[in-house]
């Protein structure tokens, strides 16, 4: 008699959460969790693994919200269109919150990635690639901080290689190219007057503290006087009887 053991498939939680996100992005309302499992063909997994999936959805920052048997997609940023996205980036910049990750923006609304590309093309945002997390991060580009440089000056500057040149050679090159070098004036340092009184006061206070500490140390380590023990009751009674006998004589 032979027995065949049924092989239990293992549920990959990360992959399942990603598939749920892609499915629920297209749903404007929350869906029953069981219906989502059926659509993704996840009902064949054991109940223990399904419970682990529920736990990971609630604990992990997965943009999914599971409550009362319904699961919904909740984007990281509450933006509905391109203007709200630009306003949110500006708010982040003013509050010092940094930038917004492009992968977290994905799913905020339909066409958000196209709007991101349009903002980059119009030079309204900075897009910095984070090498550590391997993601692109958007930052608001404040137009008030832009510096306009003459293109002719930039072209003439790039015609000459500055590698290996000294400061004097660069200065002469700027003069020959009819570009005025920047003059940086050195601010003379004010001489600091030596305050001898403060130094003498600090030395005097230090010596006084040393004397006080030495006195305390000497008092603590001084030998304590030995006190004689009080007379016992029997010796006191015998002494009083002797005095009474002398008085009777």
In 10 A of CB 148, how many CB atoms? 5
Question: Which residue has tokens 């892609």?
Answer: 22
pLDDT of the residue at 107: 79
Complete edge-to-edge strand list for the sheet that includes strand 135-140: 100-101, 135-140, 125-130
pLDDT of the residue at 76: 82
The residue ranges of every structural domain in the chain are: 13-73, 82-145, 147-180
Q: Is the pLDDT of residue 68 over 90?
A: no
- Using a 10 angstrom Cβ sphere, with 0-12 exposed, 13-18 middle and 19 or more buried, the burial of residue 125 is buried
- Fold for 82-145, please state it: Arc Repressor Mutant, subunit A (1.10.10)
pLDDT of the residue at 202: 78
pLDDT of the residue at 194: 60
Please answer whether residues 71 and 107 qualify as being in contact, where contact means their C-beta atoms are separated by less than 8 angstroms. no
CA distance 222 to 216: 10
pLDDT in tens, 35-67: 888 888 888 888 888 888 888 887 776 678 888
């Amino acid at each position: 008699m032979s027995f065949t053991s049924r092989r239990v498939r293992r549920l990959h939680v990360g992959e399942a959460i990603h598939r749920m996100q892609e499915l629920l992005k297209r749903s404007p309302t929350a869906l029953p969790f069981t219906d989502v499992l059926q659509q993704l063909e996840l009902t064949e997994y054991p109940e223990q693994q399904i419970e682990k999936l529920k736990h990971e959805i609630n604990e992990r920052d997965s943009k999914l919200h599971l409550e009362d048997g319904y699961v919904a997609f909740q984007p990281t940023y509450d933006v509905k269109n391109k203007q709200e996205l630009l306003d949110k980036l500006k708010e982040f910049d003013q509050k010092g919150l940094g930038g917004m990750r492009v992968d977290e923006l994905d799913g905020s609304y339909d066409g958000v990635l196209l709007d991101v590309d349009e903002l980059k093309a119009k030079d309204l945002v900075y897009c910095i690639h984070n090498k550590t997390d391997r993601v692109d991060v958007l930052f608001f580009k404040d137009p008030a901080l832009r510096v306009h440089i003459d293109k002719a000056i930039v072209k003439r500057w790039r015609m000459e290689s500055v590698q290996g040149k000294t400061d004097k050679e660069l200065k002469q090159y700027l003069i020959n190219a009819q570009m005025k070098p920047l003059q940086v004036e050195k601010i003379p340092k004010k001489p600091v007057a030596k305050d001898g009184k403060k130094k003498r006061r600090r030395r005097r206070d230090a010596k006084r503290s040393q004397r006080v500490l030495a006195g305390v140390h000497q008092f603590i380590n001084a030998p304590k006087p030995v006190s004689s023990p009080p007379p016992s009751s029997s010796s006191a009674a015998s002494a009083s009887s002797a005095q009474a006998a002398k008085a009777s004589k």
